[in-house]
A and B are shown apart, each in its own frame.
Chain A
Amino acid sequence: MNLALDLLTIVAVSLGALFFLAGTVGLLRFPDTLTRLHALTKADNLGLGLVVLGLLPQVSAPLAALGLIAVWLLAMLSGATVGQLLAGAARPPDPDRAEMPARDAVSSHD
């Protein structure tokens, strides 16, 4: 049983790391802002989710497991919001938004 849980940890964390790697490659190689954002948020949501899933069997107290899940949920919430804000800031055709990107980016780094 213990071995199975350890295996789950190894597999899930490795998969999560793989997603982070893929997301980073995408962030560097994709052609425009929106696709890069897609790569970034994928890495955040799935990669972090898999890492958290892998770490769950290893925690000693149930409260710590709750904390890990909370970290994942909060990261997803902020990731989704930041994605929205950056996408809004990067949208080119709207002329009266031309000077906004910097400010939107500022607010998203909260």
Chain B
Amino acid sequence: MTRYPVMTSALVVDAALVLLVLGLALWVTSTRAAYSAVVGFVAYGLLMAIVWVRLAAVDVAMTEAALGTGLTGLLLLGAAARLAPYEAAEVNGRPGRWLRLLIGLLCAAIALGLAAVVLMLPDPAPTLAPLVAENLPPTGVGNPVTGVLLAHRAIDTLLESVVLVPALIGVWSVAADPAWGGRPGSLPRPRSSSALTLLAQVLPPFGILIGIHLVWNGADDPGGKFQGATVLAAMWILVLIAGLREPPAVRDRRLRVLLVIGALVFIGIGVAGIWLADAFLAYPEGYAKPLILAIEAVLTLSIAATLGLLLAGPPASDHPSGGLYESKKSG
């Protein structure tokens, strides 16, 4: 191997990354305050994005940074800020020292077992990549991950975009009865500040452009509808947090159509494939690329709306800040 020195210096970088990731994970599981744990989790997610790049998975890195870190971080930070008053009582529930030691030993055993599996992975690694590379040209898509998501494993992608809708129904259904149908109220609403308002006015045009760029580019380069939709959702959330717009009421019929239209178009094209291409979710010869683009475009809108609403939380009574304490019913 002539590239040996390069490999070792890369290994040093990887080792440093792994140490940072593990240190932050330790911080997330063991620090005292939930809020600082969430901050640690956000930093952890950004480092994980770098790990994904090191593993040649740029599409995953984008999803991790945008969705796994950005949106999840915002969701958890909001929750941590709201739950801070209850946190002092939590210490009582901690298991005793011996129980913790036992749990720690068992968890270490599980980790060691997984590590042994990693070390014993078969050496010419089994892979589906040649099959994908072979079957990519008929789809007309250049990014193998997009090809897999929308052509070869389309049923997974369909289920995944459908599963977001029940998740949203689940979030909505924890609303208090009187609040049903109203506007979601879980987003933090800082007192209006000119800097935030400016950002919410300046950034969204660029953000929307970047979102569309990610979806469009996703056909041939890293990117795709989930990454693009996440950026679009983030722009929407930014505008909502800055208070420039109110979140739409849950009972709004146009909103509900928007939420399901992506999945409906996907299923419609899939069912049409039974007659036109002899299989559910198969695309007719020569039309794969335009159909994939059409599905991506509509799905992006639905996914962006769903992600934004998942963050916005269950409907609260009409005023956003009035949601948390207004109904003290005993379950």
Residues of chain A lying within 8 A (CB to CB) of residue B70: 110
Residues of chain B lying within 8 A (CB to CB) of residue A74: 203, 206
- Give the complex CA separation of A37 and B74 in angstroms: 21
Query: Would you give the shortest CB distance from B273 to chain A, in whole angstroms?
Result: 36
Residues of chain A lying within 8 A (CB to CB) of residue B188: 103, 106-107
Are B190 and A107 touching (Cβ within 8 A)?
A: yes
Residues of chain A lying within 8 A (CB to CB) of residue B42: 109
Are A103 and B234 touching (Cβ within 8 A)?
A: no
- Give the complex CA separation of A23 and B195 in angstroms: 23
User: Given A102-B81, A110-B237, is A81 in contact with B196 using a C-beta cutoff of 8 Å?
Assistant: yes
Say yes or no for B241: interface residue by CB 8 A criterion.
yes
Are A84 and B78 touching (Cβ within 8 A)?
A: no
Question: In the complex, what residue of chain B is closest to A80 when comparing beta carbons?
Answer: B195
Residues of chain B lying within 8 A (CB to CB) of residue A15: none
Are A107 and B206 touching (Cβ within 8 A)?
A: no
Query: Would you give the shortest CB distance from A22 to chain B, in whole angstroms?
Result: 19
Question: In the complex, what residue of chain A is closest to B78 when comparing beta carbons?
Answer: A106
Question: How many residues on chain B are close to A (CB under 8 Å)?
Answer: 27
Q: Which of B73, B193, B195 contacts A109 (CB 8 A)?
A: B73
- Give the complex CA separation of A108 and B237 in angstroms: 12
- Give the complex CA separation of A102 and B237 in angstroms: 18
Query: Would you give the shortest CB distance from B95 to chain A, in whole angstroms?
Result: 28
Residues of chain A lying within 8 A (CB to CB) of residue B77: 105-106, 109
Are B196 and A107 touching (Cβ within 8 A)?
A: yes
Query: Would you give the shortest CB distance from B82 to chain A, in whole angstroms?
Result: 9
- Give the complex CA separation of A104 and B141 in angstroms: 43
Say yes or no for B125: interface residue by CB 8 A criterion.
no
Main secondary structure of the interface of A (DSSP, over half): helix
Are B202 and A77 touching (Cβ within 8 A)?
A: yes
Say yes or no for A11: interface residue by CB 8 A criterion.
no
Question: In the complex, what residue of chain A is closest to B235 when comparing beta carbons?
Answer: A110
Interface 1/0 per residue, B105-149 and A, CB below 8 Å: 000000000000000000000000000000000000000000000
Query: Would you give the shortest CB distance from A102 to chain B, in whole angstroms?
Result: 4
Query: Would you give the shortest CB distance from A28 to chain B, in whole angstroms?
Result: 14
Say yes or no for A26: interface residue by CB 8 A criterion.
no
Say yes or no for B35: interface residue by CB 8 A criterion.
yes
Interface 1/0 per residue, B177-197 and A, CB below 8 Å: 000000000001111010110
User: Given A84-B193, A84-B195, A103-B189, is A110 in contact with B206 using a C-beta cutoff of 8 Å?
Assistant: no
Say yes or no for B101: interface residue by CB 8 A criterion.
no
Question: How many residues on chain A are close to B (CB under 8 Å)?
Answer: 20
Q: From residue 224 to 256 of chain B, which have CB atoms closer than 8 A to chain A? A: 234, 237-238, 241-242
Query: Would you give the shortest CB distance from A21 to chain B, in whole angstroms?
Result: 14
Say yes or no for B22: interface residue by CB 8 A criterion.
no
Query: Would you give the shortest CB distance from A74 to chain B, in whole angstroms?
Result: 7
Are B199 and A78 touching (Cβ within 8 A)?
A: yes
Query: Would you give the shortest CB distance from B279 to chain A, in whole angstroms?
Result: 38
User: Given A74-B206, A77-B203, A85-B193, is A106 in contact with B198 using a C-beta cutoff of 8 Å?
Assistant: no
- Give the complex CA separation of A109 and B311 in angstroms: 14
Query: Would you give the shortest CB distance from A59 to chain B, in whole angstroms?
Result: 14
Are B199 and A77 touching (Cβ within 8 A)?
A: yes
- Give the complex CA separation of A107 and B199 in angstroms: 11
Q: Which of B74, B190, B242 contacts A100 (CB 8 A)?
A: B190
The 17 listed contacts between A and B (C-beta, < 8 Å) are A70-B206, A74-B203, A77-B202, A80-B195, A84-B195, A85-B190, A85-B195, A88-B195, A103-B81, A105-B77, A106-B77, A106-B78, A106-B190, A109-B73, A109-B74, A110-B74, A110-B237
Known: A100-B191, A109-B74, A110-B237. 11 other contacts (CB 8 A): A74-B206, A84-B193, A85-B195, A85-B196, A88-B193, A100-B190, A106-B77, A107-B196, A109-B42, A109-B77, A110-B234
Binding site for A on B (CB under 8 A): 35, 42, 70, 73-74, 77-78, 80-81, 84, 188-191, 193, 195-196, 198-199, 202-203, 206, 234, 237-238, 241-242
Binding site for B on A (CB under 8 A): 70, 74, 77-78, 80-81, 84-85, 88, 97, 100, 102-110
